[in-house]
Structure 1
Amino acid sequence: MNRYEGLNQAIVDQFAPRPGRQALLPELSEKAQVALMCRMLFREGWSEHIAGHITWRLPNGNILTNPWELSWDELTAKDIMTLDEKGKVIDGEWNITPAIGLHIQLHALRPEINVVIHNHAHWSGIWANLQKVPPIYDQAGAYCGEKLPIYNEYTGTFEDEHSTLSAAEALGESKWALLANHGSLVVGENLRQAHLRVITLEWRSKRAWEAEVAGGAQPLPPEEVEKLSRIDDNGFPFCWEAMARRELRADPNLVNDD
């Protein structure tokens, strides 16, 4: 990943370190970036055993994804699988989830979406089971806007082609969704944007649940949420790198391709 790939250049010009400063991350292969993403999001609560899948469509049309057999906190760069645009394995030593069809459908329906992430997340999963949209109570919960659809036509898991197409079409132009009695879904143009959306959704859901347990509170007004949500298009400066460095400190070998 380039030093500031995916960031709005105006933000970089205003806040970036002066030329000559140390790079925020070492050079990382594309597979290493997916492995890092899995580790980072596992720590955020997207961690239901071996459930969940991340896909990242590359400029050449190939798609990187995590293997079926491994949990997100144990896989490394060498475990990441490469698929063609139809979901056929072209590189890798593992299997892929039968539910990969949801991702393939989303990538096909929305050319601007290069990253698709699904898991049975902790905090947003509570709201998915309640079939309610969590209110926004603070700044960190507002970074990616207020609209959060609930896909509530539960038909089981996502192995069936018709159910995956239905879910993909129901998402429409949304950036994320709660899947009723199932889990959470986030899409993005790049890894940085998708990461911000996941961590914002989980933070928003966690704070909303805590407020509910505490007896309720006053959500942020929609106009304030709109002001804060503008950051979503630009990425949060340096957040992806900071969370990636945390995982590299814990396991420097996770990015090794061999």
Structure 2
Amino acid sequence: MTDETVLYALDNGVATIRLNRPDRLNAVTAEMLALLRATLWRAADEGARAVLLTGEGRGFCSGAELSGRGEGSLDLGSSLELGYNPVAEALSKLPIPIVTAVNGPAAGAGAGIALGGDIVVMAKSAYLLLAFSNIGLVPDCGATWLVAKSAGRAKALEMALLGEKMSAQEAMDAGLVARVVEDEAVLSTAQEIAAKLAAKPTLALGMIRAQVKAALNSTLSETLSIEATHQRRAGFSEDFREGVAAFLQKRKPEFKGK
């Protein structure tokens, strides 16, 4: 174990990023958020073709570090603008796919970070918790948008207003996560998915991420236009040429991410 609050490793095209404050269930500080954002962009800059994001120890992320923050008035809006929002934007705008392995509780901002992945794999014993209303706050780190867009208005309001735990199975039933697996299999399952994504045509995957995000707030006509723009770019890629050649030659394609 190291003193670094965010761990990073790049292997075979997969950047594994681990939140590393296990003694605090990976509660995030301002410094940790800045490092997480920088590490996400580092993965893309260093040629990673997929990201696997998880937590060390028995939790994914318990949200903001609250120790010492109960006295006096705080401008929490500034902390969002400077810390949490840039992380949410990085998760959204990264040009490579993200798999989150939710190995334990994902509460508060931790729920937003967990749900910011493209494919969310959740351990059976893990849970989501929008705990904000329990301490007089409102959801942040993109959780409002992510839950409302995935599960709908009713579920978003239920989670945010009541501030109750949502089990992994309930989260999957609500459309918030892709897979629920046994606790001991959460990391290996996420690694398998990330490796599969890293072997696919990276340019196309990045555009798919952007396309789905845009479609959530676009008309059909606007979405058709975005699809045409992206398809034009994909059609000139090396990976498209390789994909067609492999199909015609009846072999497995070897994509380079270009």
TM-score where L is the length of structure 1: 0.30
**TM-score between the two structures when normalised by the length of structure 2:** 0.30
Higher RCO, 1 vs 2 (CA within 8 Å, ≥6 residues apart): 1
Larger Rg belongs to: 2
In terms of fraction of residues, the more helix-rich structure is 2
